[in-house]
Amino acid sequence: MKYDPEIHHRRSIRLQGYDYSQDGTYFVTLCTHNRENMLGEIKNGEMVLNEYGKIVSESWEWLSVQYDYIELDAWVIMPNHMHGIIVINHDGGGRGGSLKRYLQNESTKSETHRVRLSGSGIIGIISSAMKNH
């Protein structure tokens, strides 16, 4: 069923005033623009990623390589969204910097990625990484 804002009423379940940049385990859902089926299709009961779905997959996996305070747990990509569990743990990080200090920087670079931080906290990092991958 295609997304219909008249039928599908979603409200934010984020806790108002909660600092989502602090250590913890977070369940993240990212949706495509207008919930269009852009990431692949389900064939014979299995998700088959297209080019965009593969980019999302690679970008998600890249997060734990790029940021040593991030650990990825279970995740799944569907035709118009993805779900993932992400763990933020600064105690084991090798870079020694805090996420808050990192977020104060305008941008970060790697050989193949440039992420501009347009949001706040980890959600901004994730969505920016996937938009710019």
Residue type, 117: L
Instruction: For the chain, 133 residues long, give each residue's pLDDT as a single digit of tens.
Output: 676 777 766 667 778 888 877 888 989 999 998 899 999 999 999 999 999 999 999 999 999 888 888 899 999 999 999 999 999 888 865 333 444 444 444 344 333 333 333 334 555 556 665 565 4
Structure tokens at 30: 């990212």
What is the Cα–Cα distance from 85 to 103, expressed in whole angstroms? Answer: 21
Looking at the whole model, is its pTM more than 0.85? no
Q: What residue has token string 């920016």?
A: 128
Q: Give the residue extent of every domain in the chain.
A: 24-95
Closest CA to 29 of 87, 80, 88: 80
What are 77's strand-pairing partners?
82
